[in-house]
Chain A
Amino acid sequence: MNNLVIITGLLYVISAVGYILFLFLQKHYFHRVGQIFLATGFLCNSILIGFYFAKTGQIPVRNLHETLLVTGWAIAGVFFAFQYKFKIKVLGGYAAPLAAISVIAAFFVPYKTVEAQNVFNSIWLILHVVSIFLGHAAFAMACGVGLLYVAQENAIKTKKHGFFYKRLPSLDLLDSTGYACIITGFTLLTIGLITGFIYAKSVWGKFWSWDPKEVWSGITWLLYAAILHGRLTVGWRGKKAAIMAVIGFIVVLFTFFGVNFLLKGHHGIFTR
């Protein structure tokens, strides 16, 4: 099992190196290397998760080790989906290292055996977990695209066309990609929250229990709702939208990891 974690991590690292070399040298074959290794890594990652699933019959997010593996998997998967649609080649230089870091971190986190609990057996939980992870990965992409937007906009605005100007696509493409990422992320987050409520009701008998994770997820949801609302009504776009996407993701990171370590609550048992 550990070997497969190492292999997956290694594939992601090679992919990350390929994508980063592509960013600097702009040689197509580096991009190809990045793509192929990320795809292979994703496959290994999927097998790994499937393996955990089959072994325990439960969705493998029961400890930090498993959670990080699913995080890497979600980032790689969501990145491929957006790459297919928008083809921002340099984005791989952001997504592949993220996936690599997640899986490497998983390797160093000791595997804590968790007793089989009935709490983990529910279709609602599976839906809840999958959509939250994919949603957060989409927000991660929105943040990456937002950073690229800020770099490109800065180059055009200040008229100092440096490293990024030639390597990055048009502002319009970056802006619409970021928007699509946020819409996708928001939709998945909404589904994740609703299924979470239903699951909570079935396990703890109430929809909402002021668990810190719940509260922060609510804040995240409201923040992205505000971003989308601003865009649709007064046209928050461009740099402002890009910066919002970055801030939004910082809040997501806090909700995802920070809450587990700093605050207490029932989610803690999964991710501590």
Chain B
Amino acid sequence: MIEIILLGINHKTAPVEIRELLTVSKEEAAAMLDAIKESASVNEVVLFSTCNRVEILMTAGDKADAIETVQRQLSRFKNVPVSRFQQSIYIYEGDEAVRHIFRVASSLDSMMVGEPQILGQIKDAYFTATKRKSSGVILNRLLHRTFFVAKRVRTETGIGDHAVSISYAAVELARKIFGLLEGKKVLLVGAGEMAELAVEHLIRNRVKEIFVANRTFKNGVELARKFGGTAIRFEEITDFIQQADVIISSTGSPDIIINKEQVKHIMPGRRNRPLFFIDIAVPRDIDPEINKLNNIYVYDIDDLNGVVDENIEDRNKEAIKGERIIDEAVISFRRWYDSLDVVPTIVALRNKIDSIATAEIEKTMHAMDIPENEREALYRMKNAIINKIMHNPTLLLKRDGCHGNNSVYIDVTRKLFNLDE
């Protein structure tokens, strides 16, 4: 019987030093698929690789040989001795392999549970495999099920809800305060990766204007150009807080830059429109006392981390629901897979033909009133016909088709005679 085997390494089993050695590019993947397919023991193969994992999914008659082949090819293509990564490799078979691919695609196995990229990456890999014709009946079916399951997990659970990065959490908060961010003004004080990322998220939410204040005006101008915003002088900050709605601060200053008094005085002028301070700097730039003023909200890096932790916890809770969906899907895939076994298919085919023939004979006999002994002769004839009809299909299905891969014929047979109804 042909087995589904999955062989891989991921961030849980291998440190980055090993993962980076084995990362497979798209071109390499295509060539590797061709090479692995050459092996007599491997029938179908799909390979995908992301920064956190390399996974090779295959169906094989000779399990040990297939695993050895794949390891050898991986070692050959990446020029890394097998001994270097053998310790980190995990191998799943049958239901466990199916469950693993379902979990990976649903992002339950990801470093960040619920991240949405992985499904696209698997789809790309599958596309490559279909182009190289390395994927067949079983893996085609398995991957289509995988995409379906992953989509179900995403829509029926909350694993993709709520931000799990600092900068995105900040934007989500801004949306809880202001609703639509369209038309809002943002003031960026200082610079820094996280702050700039937050500004980019805000731009994607169609804020109206970006002001950039930097101690070195020239740097401010450059940054402002990057965002299509306006550079302002550091001394002008107070004036611009008056206009802005969201203030993101990320300077290297050891002292507080914006204090309570400064902000208190501008609120009447803003007619109490809300203000949201995002303080990503350590040490902090914005006086935490400002949070006590009405209609003003200050979140520092720890507060944002708290929000992110809460969201991650929520996702993990949702992941449990996802596992349940996957359990169901594994069982239903197993049912289909078992039907691919030769004997049940032959039996099903015989039963189908038999039921048709018997029904027709009985119809005829009913109309013609045939005596008992002649009836038996008719039934004998029916069985003889069925045996003759079944002879060649049985031989073909039982013979090891191409490389023992008769799953194609079984599948065709089941479809041709609609045996799965």
Contact surface of A with B, Cβ cutoff 8 Å: 152, 156-157, 159, 161, 165-166, 169-173, 234-240
Contacts and interface: CB of A to CB of B under 8 A. Distances in A.
B268 A240 contact: no
A239 B296 CA distance: 11
B310 A236 contact: no
A156 B268 CA distance: 22
Given A234-B268, A235-B268, A235-B273, A240 B175 contact: no
B254 interface: no
Contacts of B307: 159, 161
Contacts of B297: 156-157
A239 B295 contact: yes
Interface string B175-213: 111111000000000000000000000000000000000
A238 B272 contact: yes
Contacts of B162: 166
B256 to A, nearest CB: 19
A152 B128 CA distance: 49
Contacts of B270: 235
A177 B22 CA distance: 56
Given A161-B310, A170-B175, A170-B179, 20 more contacts: A152-B176, A156-B173, A156-B297, A159-B307, A161-B307, A169-B179, A171-B176, A171-B179, A171-B274, A172-B177, A172-B274, A234-B268, A234-B271, A235-B268, A235-B270, A237-B271, A237-B272, A237-B273, A238-B295, A239-B294
Counting chain A CB atoms within 10 Å of each CB, the highest count among B162, B180, B272, B310 belongs to B272
Nearest to A235: B271
A89 to B, nearest CB: 15
Contacts of B299: 159
A156 B307 CA distance: 11
A236 B299 CA distance: 24
B295 to A, nearest CB: 4
B344 interface: no
Counting chain A CB atoms within 10 Å of each CB, the highest count among B176, B180, B273, B295 belongs to B176
A170 B176 contact: yes
B95 interface: no
Nearest to B299: A159
A238 B274 contact: yes
Contacts of A157: 291, 297
B306 interface: yes
25 contacts: A156-B173, A156-B176, A156-B297, A157-B291, A159-B303, A159-B306, A159-B307, A161-B310, A165-B176, A170-B178, A170-B179, A171-B176, A171-B177, A171-B178, A171-B274, A172-B179, A172-B180, A172-B274, A235-B268, A235-B270, A235-B272, A236-B272, A237-B272, A237-B295, A238-B295
B184 to A, nearest CB: 10
A108 B176 CA distance: 43
A167 to B, nearest CB: 11
A249 to B, nearest CB: 21
Nearest to B162: A166
A235 B295 CA distance: 11
A238 to B, nearest CB: 4
A172 B272 contact: no
A52 B66 CA distance: 84
Contacts of A238: 272, 274, 294-295
A172 B178 CA distance: 5
Nearest to B271: A235
A240 B294 contact: yes
10 tightest Cβ-Cβ pairs between the two chains A and B? A235-B271, A170-B179, A172-B179, A235-B272, A238-B295, A173-B179, A159-B303, A172-B178, A171-B177, A237-B272
B298 to A, nearest CB: 9
A108 B294 CA distance: 45
A157 B295 CA distance: 9
A159 B304 CA distance: 9
A12 to B, nearest CB: 30
A236 B267 CA distance: 11
A6 B177 CA distance: 42
A156 B270 CA distance: 20
Interface in B223-241: none
Nearest to A174: B179
B177 A156 contact: yes
B179 to A, nearest CB: 4
A263 to B, nearest CB: 37
Counting chain B CB atoms within 10 Å of each CB, the highest count among A156, A159, A170 belongs to A159
Interface string B294-328: 11010100010011001000000000000000000
Given A157-B297, A159-B306, A235-B268, A170 B274 contact: no
B406 to A, nearest CB: 47
A169 B274 CA distance: 16
A226 B274 CA distance: 22
